[in-house]
Amino acid sequence: MKVLLLAICLSLTGAIAAAAEVSGVFINDQIKTQDGAALVLNGAGLREKFWVDVYVGSLYLPAKSADVAEILSKPGPLRIQLDFVYKEVAADKLLESWREGFENNQGADSLKSLKDRIEQFYGYFDGSAVARDQYRFDYQPGTGTSISKNKTLLGVIPGEDFRNALVEIWLGNHPADKDLKKAMLGL
């Protein structure tokens, strides 16, 4: 009987752990912001390109939501986390994907007003991303979006408008990956 109970407990523990793992990357169910606020995992999924696993994208919010308009309209903190699983993504490929994401989801006026901040963002990607690299995009109201690589702060970009443009790379009308968008929305 004890063996049976132990087996059941272990299988339940395995199921819980597996729910928080994508492509070999463990995803925390909850994180703390720099000011101590709790963010919950809204959803996580795999970014694929031509059948190649590139990175695991995770979205953390103060409360779960599958509504993009609601996510963009709430000015609270959030995190988008990218955990790379592909052996190496060249800097020019990263920049190309960021450019596509901004240009496909923003109008000409928005791109014009964000131009300097988008260029600042591009400046943080001067090297390749390799497997096990982690990028974090943490938005904190009143401060801006902190860009970090492997827990090292690269810089901060001000503005809720920049935060929304960045979020729309994954959640906009023309997302980088439709399946990843659904996964990050918890669908």
Express each pLDDT in 27-72 by its tens digit.
Answer: 999 998 877 889 999 999 999 888 888 999 999 999 999 999 999 9
Q: Among 17-21, 54-58, 70-74, 153-157, where is mean pLDDT lowest?
A: 17-21
Helix axes 108-122, 91-105, angle to 10 degrees: 160
Output the CA torsion 48→50→54→58 (10° steps): -10
The predicted model scores a pTM of: 0.86
Instruction: Look at the domain 27-184 and name its fold.
Output: Chalcone isomerase (3.50.70)
Among 146, 141, 92, 84, which Cα is nearest to 121's? Answer: 146
